[in-house]
């Protein structure tokens, strides 16, 4: 049976975007982030993260760093009774300095690949799903995937997501 999902961008939505965050010591949660994820979980939605990580293509860090940070985030969220069902990231960039990551990818936002992959893998009800992002590229990826996109201002993620969940019920 299909379920709706909330697709969260990572940097600037769940955590502060301080430029190429790839270590746990750099992670600063946005106010209300864990509570927002928990609200999504309680509402019966899938909770996903879709994030461009061009720092890999630029040679600033490795994919292992991205996965380690996501594991750290999972553990931090679990302490508060929240969980992300899947983390998706795109390490590619067409101007990357690391040759194996230098390419155009249908998974790099504004392309919809990460979102559409999750929709198919998890049997997501796209009509009832939405994305929360902080850039126009996030919203464009959502639109291309057939999902509603909402631009987050960076103030309090819990309040923003609870409002969106309430809209979905009406």
Residues serving a catalytic function are: 9, 11
Paired strand residues for 36: none
User: At 164, which helix (H) or strand (E)?
Assistant: helix 157-169
Which of these, 98, 75, 62, 85, lies nearest to 27 by C-alpha position?
A: 75
Residue 101 contacts residue 63 (beta carbons within 8 Å)? no
Pairwise CA distance, residues 118 & 86, whole Å: 8
Report the C-alpha gap between 92 and 71 in whole angstroms: 21
CA distance 4 to 168: 10
């Amino acid at each position: 049976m299909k379920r709706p999902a909330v697709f969260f961008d990572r940097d600037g939505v769940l955590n502060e975007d301080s430029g190429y965050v790839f270590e746990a010591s750099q992670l600063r949660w946005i106010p209300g982030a864990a509570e927002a994820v928990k609200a999504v979980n309680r509402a019966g939605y899938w909770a996903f993260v879709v994030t461009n990580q061009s720092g890999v293509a630029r040679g600033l860090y490795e994919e292992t760093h991205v996965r380690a940070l996501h594991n750290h985030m999972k553990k931090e969220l679990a302490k508060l009774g929240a969980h992300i069902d899947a983390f998706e990231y795109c390490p590619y960039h067409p101007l990357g300095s690391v040759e194996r990551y230098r390419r155009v990818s249908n998974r790099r936002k504004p392309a919809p690949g990460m979102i559409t992959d999750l929709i198919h893998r998890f049997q997501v009800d796209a009509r009832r799903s939405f994305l929360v992002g902080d850039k126009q590229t996030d919203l464009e990826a959502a639109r291309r995937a057939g999902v509603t996109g909402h631009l987050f201002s960076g103030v309090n993620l819990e309040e923003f997501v609870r409002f969106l969940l309430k809209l979905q019920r009406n």
